[in-house]
């Protein structure tokens, strides 16, 4: 079975690293005339409009990212309004901007590499108030659902997952799908990493939005791939299912699903031609699970990644108490969110940074993270400007809820250099890197662990975006020179692989307006 041929994941990761060499040797250029459309469209299907009169809940975004024990969760059957809320704030269009000569650009609720929006959400539902049982595609462009199949197909997904208990009574199972070409057009084979980064930022939003609507939500990464892709009826060389999300509770399964026949639906072409990046297909096949039994076995794995005790100075986090969190409501935060394009050198407070780290690392409800102590990524930081925290390189100790100073110093220049020479990381107050012990992950979870690690990193990053905007400052995901980052944080991070980078800080615009307000500009 491929999942245990873990040299395939190591090869993929190695071959898609950024280095000075790979970047400057590259002859790749962007063929703008062939840019893929950022929406999947089914021209022959009727759109079922989603309600626009969505509830304004005012639930603080930071609370929405909290562990379930910190909020009240009931178990209602979701309404169409609940689904509309979750879909809008996970993956809907939240901002429009006109670029003279280029037309209108539709930005989405969650950050996405290159704004290419290659992730689609599908819903498999039983009969719900306002929605008949079926398989639906969410169309963010028209804020609508398109019905692909009629009938209750949840059984297919539960079976594919090897009867994951978290899916068994979920009235809604979201399938997170990815169309490779929509991102590989720009990023080539590295786009397979982006599959999970960009699914992860959406899932961070989705989990928070579900919490606000008091819908239990749970991620399932272990499933036999073929039956799930067959349900979507996608050409798996181009589009695949990445993850399932059980939403809601108390909706027992029917004894069986209707048969899964091919759909023969027309899908609008993405661009005049599509290029194939075999490394993506190979890595996806290598991390596929063949049977429900494989999925059930995969889910049971625990990953012990011992953290060496701190040897450097420890700085305890000082987050706000749960009942005193900044009050910005989730819906406002997501509508305001956008990647910061220029950071000011204005410092964050240690409480602000603590809130980001504490909220981002709240447990993620997921099959592969269920065993106590299991986590894939460790957080390493370059602190440029945080009050009461010396500038330098740090690692986050989750048990102690503290930052260990690995190396003091002003590392703004290095931060920018590690982020492919992008000033965003140099100017930001903090750059947070997710690193993992890839060999340990692959030993425990096989190649499928690679998907899980990238996805966890994307969710952590997505939560950091929300936690930043909830506190009035900004964030931007960034790409990086892989081996240079590992070298920078070594020896502590020796042998670890970089999965994600996000920069945090006030937008430069913010400082100008703050200066103007105080009469200093
Ligand atoms: C994982 C990730 C990596 C990103 N990398 C970069 C980057 O290297 N440079 C950059 O300027 N923006 C980067 N971005 C920001 C995206 O360009 C941005 O999310 C996208 O244009 C959509 O805009 P919005 O976030 O303002 O909605 C990244 C975003 C994500 C989620």
**pLDDT, tens digit, 9 for 90 and up, residues 124-151:** 999 999 999 999 999 999 999 999 999 9
Going by alpha carbons, the residue nearest to atom 9 of ligand 1 is: 478
Distance between Cα 491 and ligand 1 center (Å): 29
pLDDT at 511: 47
pLDDT at 300: 81
pLDDT at 445: 96
What's the rounded mean pLDDT across residues 258-282?
97
Nearest to 443 by CA among 285, 305, 318: 305
* Ligand 1 pocket test, candidate residues 38, 99, 113, 463, most atoms within 8 A of CB: 113
Cβ–ligand 1 distance for 454 under 6 Å, the answer no
What's the rounded mean pLDDT across residues 450-477?
98
Distance between Cα 114 and ligand 1 center (Å): 6
Distance between Cα 87 and ligand 1 center (Å): 20
What's the rounded mean pLDDT across residues 366-370?
93
Cβ–ligand 1 distance for 113 under 6 Å, the answer yes
Q: Residue 109 class from Cβ within 10 Å (0-12 exposed, 13-18 middle, 19+ buried)?
A: buried
What's the rounded mean pLDDT across residues 34-40?
96
pLDDT at 68: 61
Cβ–ligand 1 distance for 474 under 6 Å, the answer no
Nearest to 356 by CA among 474, 513, 197: 474
Confidence label for 464 from pLDDT (cuts 50, 70 and 90)? very high
What's the rounded mean pLDDT across residues 215-222?
96
**Whole-structure pTM value:** 0.96
Assigned token pair, 132: 């008949």
Cβ–ligand 1 distance for 361 under 6 Å, the answer no
pLDDT digits (tens, 9 = 90+) for 38-72: 999 999 999 999 999 998 889 999 999 986 654 44
What's the rounded mean pLDDT across residues 370-383?
92
Contact 248, 170 (CB under 8 A): yes
State yes or no: pLDDT of 520 exceeds 70.
no
Cβ–ligand 1 distance for 502 under 6 Å, the answer no
Confidence label for 314 from pLDDT (cuts 50, 70 and 90)? very high
Distance between Cα 287 and ligand 1 center (Å): 26
State yes or no: pLDDT of 88 exceeds 60.
yes
Assigned token pair, 354: 């603590």
Q: Residue 21 class from Cβ within 10 Å (0-12 exposed, 13-18 middle, 19+ buried)?
A: exposed
Q: Give the integer Cα–Cα distance in Å for 412 and 157.
A: 47
Q: Residue 346 class from Cβ within 10 Å (0-12 exposed, 13-18 middle, 19+ buried)?
A: middle
pLDDT digits (tens, 9 = 90+) for 408-424: 999 999 999 999 999 99
State yes or no: pLDDT of 515 exceeds 60.
no
Given the CA of residue 94, which atom of ligand 1 is nearest to it? 27
State yes or no: pLDDT of 493 exceeds 70.
yes
Cβ–ligand 1 distance for 115 under 6 Å, the answer yes
pLDDT at 297: 94
Confidence label for 305 from pLDDT (cuts 50, 70 and 90)? confident
Cβ–ligand 1 distance for 479 under 6 Å, the answer yes
Percent of the chain clearing pLDDT 90 (strictly above): 87
Assigned token pair, 366: 């997921």
Given the CA of residue 95, which atom of ligand 1 is nearest to it? 27
What average pLDDT is seen over the chain? 94
pLDDT at 1: 54
pLDDT at 101: 82
Identify the three-state secondary structure at position 50: coil
Going by alpha carbons, the residue nearest to atom 16 of ligand 1 is: 113
Measured CA distances, 118 to 80, 140, 192, 417, 455 (Å):
25, 12, 11, 28, 15
Identify the three-state secondary structure at position 300: coil
State yes or no: pLDDT of 73 exceeds 80.
no
Q: Which of 59-73, 437-451, 473-487, 499-513 has the lowest mean pLDDT?
A: 59-73
Q: Which of 303-307, 308-312, 342-346, 439-443 has the lowest mean pLDDT?
A: 303-307
Nearest to 477 by CA among 514, 507, 503: 503
What's the rounded mean pLDDT across residues 86-110?
94
Given the CA of residue 338, which atom of ligand 1 is nearest to it? 26
Q: Give the integer Cα–Cα distance in Å for 344 and 514.
A: 11
């Amino acid at each position: 079975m491929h999942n245990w041929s873990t040299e395939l994941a190591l090869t993929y990761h190695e071959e898609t690293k950024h280095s000075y060499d790979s970047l400057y040797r590259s002859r790749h250029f962007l063929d703008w005339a062939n840019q893929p459309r950022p929406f999947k469209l089914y021209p022959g299907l009727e759109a079922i409009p989603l309600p626009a009169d969505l509830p304004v809940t005012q639930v603080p975004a930071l609370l929405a990212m909290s562990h379930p024990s910190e909020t009240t969760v009931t178990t209602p059957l979701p309404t169409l309004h609940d689904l509309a809320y979750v879909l809008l704030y996970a993956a809907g269009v939240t901002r429009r901007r006109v670029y003279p000569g280029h037309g209108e650009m539709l930005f989405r609720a969650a950050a996405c590499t290159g704004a290419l929006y290659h992730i689609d959400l599908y819903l498999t539902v039983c009969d719900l108030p306002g929605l008949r049982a079926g398989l639906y595609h969410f169309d963010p462009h028209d804020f609508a659902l398109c019905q692909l199949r009629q009938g209750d197909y949840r059984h297919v997904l539960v079976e594919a997952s090897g009867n994951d208990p978290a899916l068994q009574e979920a009235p809604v199972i979201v399938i997170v799908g990815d169309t490779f070409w929509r991102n590989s057009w720009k990023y080539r084979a590295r786009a397979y990493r982006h599959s999970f980064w960009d699914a992860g930022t959406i899932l961070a939003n989705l989990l928070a939005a579900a919490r606000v609507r008091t819908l239990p939500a749970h991620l399932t990464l272990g499933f036999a791939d073929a039956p799930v892709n067959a349900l979507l009826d996608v050409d798996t060389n181009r589009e695949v299912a990445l993850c399932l999300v059980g939403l809601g509770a108390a909706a027992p399964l029917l004894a069986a699903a209707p048969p899964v026949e091919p759909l023969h639906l027309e899908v609008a072409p993405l661009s005049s031609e599509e290029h194939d990046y075999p490394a993506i297909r190979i890595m996806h096949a290598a991390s596929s699970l063949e049977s429900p039994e494989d999925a059930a076995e995969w889910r049971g794995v625990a990953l012990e990644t011992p953290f060496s005790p701190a040897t450097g100075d420890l700085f305890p986090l000082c987050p706000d108490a749960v009942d005193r969190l900044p009050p910005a409501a989730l819906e406002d935060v997501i509508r305001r969110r956008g990647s910061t394009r220029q950071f000011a050198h204005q410092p964050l407070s240690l409480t602000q940074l603590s809130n980001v780290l504490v909220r981002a690392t709240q447990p993620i409800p997921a099959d592969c993270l269920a065993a106590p102590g299991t986590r894939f990524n460790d957080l390493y930081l370059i602190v440029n400007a945080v009050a009461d925290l010396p500038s330098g390189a740090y690692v986050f100790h989750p048990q102690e809820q503290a930052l260990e100073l690995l190396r003091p110093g002003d590392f703004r220049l290095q931060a920018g250099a590690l982020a492919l020479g992008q000033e965003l990381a140099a100017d930001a107050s903090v750059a947070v890197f997710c690193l993992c012990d890839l060999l340990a992950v692959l030993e425990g979870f096989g190649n499928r662990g690679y998907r899980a690690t990238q996805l966890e990193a994307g969710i952590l990053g997505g939560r950091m975006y929300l936690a930043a905007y909830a506190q009035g400052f900004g964030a931007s995901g960034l790409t990086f020179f892989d081996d240079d980052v590992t070298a920078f944080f070594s020896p502590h991070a020796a042998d670890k692989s970089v999965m994600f980078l996000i920069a945090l800080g006030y937008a430069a615009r913010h400082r100008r307006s703050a200066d103007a307000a105080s009469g200093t500009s």
